[in-house]
Amino acid sequence: MTKAIRIHQNGGPEVLSYDDIDVSAPKDTEIQIRMKAIGLNFIDCYMRSGLYPIANFPSVLGKEGAGIVEAVGKDVSEFKVGQRVCVGIANGCYAELANFDQHHVLALPDEIEFETAAAMMLKGMTAHFLLRRIYKVGPEDTILFHAAAGGVGSIATQWAKSLGTTVIGTVGSKEKAELAKSQGCDYPILYRDENFTEKVREITKGEGVPVVYDSIGAATFEGSIDCLRPMGTMVTFGNATGPVPPFSPALLAQKGSLFITRPTLMNYVAKREDLLWAANDLFDVVKSGAVKIKINQKYDLKDTAQAHRDLEERKTSGSTILIP
């Protein structure tokens, strides 16, 4: 028997149950990992609540973590027992012990600690596809990144800065504005008090930005569109305030021949070569010190429900990890 956080139905944080479970031996292509640290992500809340449907109950949540290989299936040759590894987009991480298909598992460089890996893999690979693939930011760009002091936002801000980009970031409090600034955000905007669209127009001298990264969803969508310059790119990649309501493509013409995408990390790392590209670029920026991973909250695995409450109530900043 081993411990895991499971849900038996969708609902609020109270449905997260600290259960005893049996973990079977790994199947042929699976790797069994003794988890040392687990990352908390907003997507875990969407899966818990039912916004993103789950096929089977009970289900162990959690997509990000790091640990040591405990056992391998007969067709696994790339990994061996005792090796340090991590996962960034796999199901079932909220556990002391878990099996993952080898496709999702990555060797963890010696320089990167388990807790750091757990705090950065999903969020950092997300920052990678946002900044390096969807729209390649550079020194000539001024970008808008919402929730700049959050998990993805903290990594993306530092990464964009290391590429010479000017970053405008929205934040929910003065403390978060300070944090964002210390991470390289040039213009933190307190979007609960100020009209962020007007501020962005002011900062860019009326021109607008070439790209907006919006994970806030329903509450900011329209304002974000109005921050874009003609032919700008709207990247709507999350729903912290609920999904964006349907709209007509004609809106994109009216607002200046805009581009829009609703990406998910899963598609961007579906091929093993793409997963390795994202992970290796992330390892490089962390090892070089260009991106520092801030673990601002740490909970015991059994207290995952509290961690979910704090994340959804906007009490967290940077990364949050769970310790089994």
Site for ligand NAP contains 126 (CB under 6 A)? yes
Q: Which residues contact 182 (CB under 8 A, 6 or more apart)?
A: none
Residue (31 or 156) nearer to ligand NAP, CB = 156
Contact segment (CB under 6 A) with ligand NAP among 4-12, 29-37, 92-100, 150-158 equals 150-158
Contact segment (CB under 6 A) with ligand NAP among 109-117, 149-157, 160-168, 287-295 equals 149-157
Neighbouring C-alpha atoms within 13 Å toward the C-beta of 314 = 13
What phi and psi, each to the nearest 5 degrees, are found at residue 5? -95, 120
Site for ligand NAP contains 152 (CB under 6 A)? yes
Residue (76 or 307) nearer to ligand NAP, CB = 307
Q: Which of 18, 29, 263, 298 binds ligand NAP (CB under 6 A)?
A: 263
117 three-state secondary structure: helix
Q: Which of 104, 128, 161, 176 binds ligand NAP (CB under 6 A)?
A: 176
195-201: long-range pairs with CB below 8 Å, 24+: 195/223, 196/144, 196/170, 196/220, 196/223, 196/227, 197/223, 197/224, 197/226, 197/227, 199/168, 200/144, 200/168, 200/227, 201/227
Is 146:169 a contact under the CB 8 Å cutoff?
yes
- Residue number with the shortest CB distance to ligand NAP? 150
Residue 246 to residue 279: CA distance in whole angstroms: 34
Site for ligand NAP contains 303 (CB under 6 A)? no
User: CB 265 → ligand NAP: shortest distance, Å?
Assistant: 4
User: CB 185 → ligand NAP: shortest distance, Å?
Assistant: 11
Residue (84 or 104) nearer to ligand NAP, CB = 104
Contact segment (CB under 6 A) with ligand NAP among 2-10, 221-229, 288-296, 312-320 equals 312-320
What phi and psi, each to the nearest 5 degrees, are found at residue 64? -140, 135
User: CB 267 → ligand NAP: shortest distance, Å?
Assistant: 8
**Burial class of 92 by CB neighbour count within 10 A (0 to 12, 13 to 18, 19+):** buried
Contact segment (CB under 6 A) with ligand NAP among 53-61, 74-82, 112-120, 169-177 equals 169-177
The pair of three-digit structure tokens given for residue 151, joined into one six-digit string: 């998990």
Site for ligand NAP contains 124 (CB under 6 A)? no
Residue (69 or 279) nearer to ligand NAP, CB = 279
The stretches of the chain forming alpha helices (DSSP H) are: 42-49, 114-128, 151-162, 174-182, 196-203, 221-225, 250-254, 265-268, 272-287, 304-312
Site for ligand NAP contains 149 (CB under 6 A)? yes
Site for ligand NAP contains 238 (CB under 6 A)? yes
Binding-site size, ligand NAP (CB under 6 A) = 29
Considering only residues 208 through 227, tell me which ones interact with ligand NAP, judged by CB under 6 A.
215-216
The pair of three-digit structure tokens given for residue 128, joined into one six-digit string: 């990678």
Residues that bind ligand NAP (CB under 6 A): 41-43, 122-123, 126, 147, 149-153, 171-172, 176, 215-216, 237-241, 263-265, 311-312, 314, 316
